[in-house]
Chain A
Amino acid sequence: MGCGTSSVTDTRSEQVLKAALVIQNWYRGYSTRLKARQRYALTIFQSIEYADEQGQLQLSNFFSFMLENYAHIHEKDPEIVARLFGSTLQDYKDRQDYVAFVDVPNSYNGPRLQFPLTFTDIDLLVDAFKQQQILHARYVLEVLFETKKVLKQMPNFTHVKTSPSKEITICGDLHGKLDDLLLIFYKNGLPSGSNSYIFNGDFVDRGRNSIEILMILFVSFLVYPNDLHLNRGNHEDFMMNLRYGFTKEILCKYKILEDVYTWLPIGTIIDNEILVIHGGISESTDLNLLHRVERHKMKSVLMPPTPLDGDPDTSVKKKKFNATIVPQEVKTSASHSEQLTKHEWEQVIDILWSDPRGKRGCYPNTSRGGGCYFGPDITSKVLNRYQLKMLIRSHECKPEGYEICHDGKVITIFSASNYYEEGSNRGAYIKLSSGMAPRFFQYQVTRATCLRPLYQRVNAIESSAIRILRERIIARKTDLIHAFQLQDRSKSGKLSMSQWAFSMENTLGLNLPWRSLSSRLVTTDTNGDINYMSSFQDIHIQKPVKEAQSTLIETLYRYRSDLQIIFNVIDSDHSGLISVEEFRSMWKLFNSHYNIHIDDFQIDELAERMDLNKDGSIDFNEFLKAFHVVHKLDKLNKSGSGLL
């Protein structure tokens, strides 16, 4: 410690000096511990987010797996394959005429757009959305159709030029957070002929205003197509939207959006020097190929090209995690013309999903489940290959809104502040022009009442992170107990910190600082040993069907997002109901692909129970909604029943 107690012989000024040192020392320790807690909370959020994305891509594998086994399903339901992989409403989307039938009533008080659009429409929309008005579906549809028309004519990569008098502003992920977009426009001005922007993907999902953001961006694009540039992100994918944001209802209403996504350019190249893309690159990134591919055939990350002629070598599952890609033209039937080749598809996936890392080389991105981790050597190699100087990308939340790595060759720019939680991170944007170093502008949206002291903000983020972590824990309760008991030979109910941390990390697959987090998740005894069962107190999963066993409940809870997507896809008439038969066969496949050990008869029983009116169909939305975690200390806890 810097100083001890003041001695009687110190002069007053010496005493004051020592006292100040004590307080400063203490405060700095406290403040940095707060920041460390904040960083830990972010780590939790991020781990879980990426684990979810990995789940998403696992789902993609599942669809492929299903298709490989489709013969069995096909017998029972010839339509199911078409439903899963085809778009049955193709011509419906192209018919702009039907838009004209959607009337805007006189009573509508929201913004009215005038086609052809002008800058007044941009102003109009921004003002209207600031007042939380809603744009009528008719206008949304018109904008989407127009946008698709214009996007179709654009190349895969937009080439832009800057000059000292004409800077360009680059923004990263917005994820439906309208406040951040409005703040950027407030600080930096609306888009115009003299104020160019690039929006680098992930406009939607997670935040509450995805449609509003799309409308502002698309209208601005339509008014200033040469100055407002949009790159596709991995969330500009209708199947990702199903999981993360848009309800099925909205997606059906605006089905044209699926097409608009696929026509978004892959990237932008500034002054022939700077490549701006959403995710990253891989060792084999081939910009020439990417300039040529028919980008609109990349429908969704969950719909990889299918080996329709049953060639065993072209198994997509194997190829996905193979960083060195062998180009193979898959010669299949006519429907091949609607798909990209596997090689092309993977090239696009790499662009949308990869992350830079410090380790040299290129290897599979295991936390997301798709794309690569690429090292500084890969960056140099690929940039040199195409005589480029820098890569600007987004895709990862950074506490300061931006981050520079790979010796200044890679910049990550992220524009959704408070992404995980109020106070979690800043957002940022870049302004640059040729010959000048990029300038960074940071911000953080706060509600007017929310100028809270740091410790309150950190407490809020931390509670939120711990809460979702505990939900993960309860979802794996059975597996965790099993892992704990394997190490607890004496059945004392206790483990050492090391043993506990090891079990947690292995079972949950989350790389987190468990030792530091332990005080928030479990109780310890006086010897420093962990009472491992204490993580399951105060929290349990609501059982929609009383008699169902714990493992089944946990599994269904854990996979509820995936199941939601699968069910939504099967439910082609959007009735919210699927037949008991469909449920059974889907579940059996899911079971075998994900290697879940649930007996068929348990599922059958569950299906019976879920079919409440015994008419052979299941209302799956109701069923899945019923699976939620109850935090005992929540005031809203209605169940009051005992632990699982």
Chain B
Amino acid sequence: MADDKEREGPDITVAEFHKKIKDAFEVFDHEANNTVDVREIGTIIRSLGCCPSEGELHDLIAEVEEEEPTGYIRFEKFLPVMTEVLLERRYRPIPEDILLRAFEVLDPSKRGFLLKEELIKYMTEEGEPFSQEEMEEMLSAAIDPESNSVHYKDYIAMMVIDES
């Protein structure tokens, strides 16, 4: 309630984060036994609004895994780590302008688009390369079939709207 806001402090925030994390975790906890498959951790973390890189994700997983990895992550281990991440506002999403500049770096002649082959090359050979599945997925939405290219400004704008 509006007037209760003044009385709220960091405790309320932590409690709210706990609830939010629990909700997200439960959606992927198929057997209702407070564990999720380690392969779903990335999805859970990102669904909470964070954007770790693959490397950062790898590190996070190492933090929440058992001493002897079982392939499952327990909620008791996940909760404190994830709460810290949220409190410290780590792995903030990439702002639109940074994203745009990244595309522009790949398009030095400033055409306003990238050819399909160019996008594939960069995404599968540079940085933390895409798998074939990831590449196909991205292409299906990004590529304009007539010109076989990605008009990245429009693409970004479309994705941003979809997310809001």
A residues in contact (CB < 8 Å) with B: 1-2, 5-6, 15-33, 35-37, 39-40, 43, 356-359, 403, 405, 451-456, 459, 487-490, 492, 494-499, 501, 511, 513-516, 525, 527, 529
Contact = CB atoms under 8 A, between A and B. Distances in A.
29 contacts: A1-B92, A2-B55, A18-B102, A20-B102, A21-B53, A22-B94, A22-B98, A23-B122, A23-B123, A25-B51, A25-B128, A27-B138, A30-B159, A31-B134, A32-B42, A32-B46, A39-B43, A40-B27, A453-B141, A454-B140, A455-B162, A489-B1, A490-B3, A494-B2, A498-B19, A511-B26, A513-B26, A515-B23, A527-B5
Contacts of A525: 2
Prevailing SS type, chain A contact patch: helix
Contacts of B10: none
A613 B1 CA distance: 52
Contacts of B103: 19, 23
Interface string B65-102: 00000000000000000000000000111100011011
Interface in B28-49: 28, 30-35, 42-44, 46-47
A21 B102 CA distance: 9
A480 to B, nearest CB: 17
A515 B19 contact: yes
Contacts of B27: 36, 39-40, 43, 513
Nearest to A452: B140
A494 B51 CA distance: 31
A16 B105 contact: yes
B102 A19 contact: yes
A606 B137 CA distance: 55
Contacts of B47: 32-33, 36-37, 516
Given A19-B102, A28-B46, A33-B47, A39 B163 contact: no
Which are the 7 A-B pairs with shortest beta-carbon distances? A358-B33, A358-B31, A36-B47, A20-B127, A513-B23, A20-B126, A453-B141
B5 to A, nearest CB: 6
Nearest to A519: B164
B53 A494 contact: no
B88 to A, nearest CB: 13
B144 interface: no
Given A20-B127, A36-B24, A492-B3, A1 B94 contact: yes
Contact of B31 (A17, A28, A357, A494): A357
A516 B28 CA distance: 14
A37 B47 CA distance: 8
B33 A5 contact: no
Interface residues of B, number: 58
Contacts of A1: 51, 53, 91-92, 94
A101 to B, nearest CB: 53
B157 interface: no
Prevailing SS type, chain B contact patch: helix
Contacts of A499: 1
A24 B1 contact: no
Contacts, number: 171
A18 B93 CA distance: 16
Given A20-B122, A32-B46, A26 B162 contact: no
B154 interface: no
B98 A30 contact: no
A487 B2 CA distance: 12
A407 to B, nearest CB: 11
B116 to A, nearest CB: 15
A39 B16 CA distance: 22
A356 to B, nearest CB: 8
Contacts of A513: 23-24, 26-27
Nearest to A403: B30
A26 B33 contact: no
B94 A25 contact: yes
Nearest to B33: A358
B105 A19 contact: yes
A5 B103 CA distance: 12
B4 to A, nearest CB: 7
B20 interface: yes
Contacts of A39: 27-28, 43
Contacts of A456: 141
Given A31-B134, A358-B33, A20 B106 contact: yes
Contact of A16 (B2, B19, B122, B134): B122
A529 B33 contact: no
B85 to A, nearest CB: 13
Interface string B120-164: 001100111110001001101100000000000000000100110
A498 B16 contact: yes
A494 B19 contact: no
B63 interface: no
Given A5-B101, A20-B126, A516 B20 contact: yes
A499 B32 CA distance: 24
Contacts of B98: 5, 22
Contacts of B43: 32, 35-36, 39
A19 B141 CA distance: 20
A21 to B, nearest CB: 4
B14 interface: no
A32 B40 CA distance: 9
Contact of B94 (A26, A357, A487): A26
Contacts of A454: 137, 140-141
Nearest to B34: A358
Given A2-B56, A22-B94, A27-B138, A492 B106 contact: no
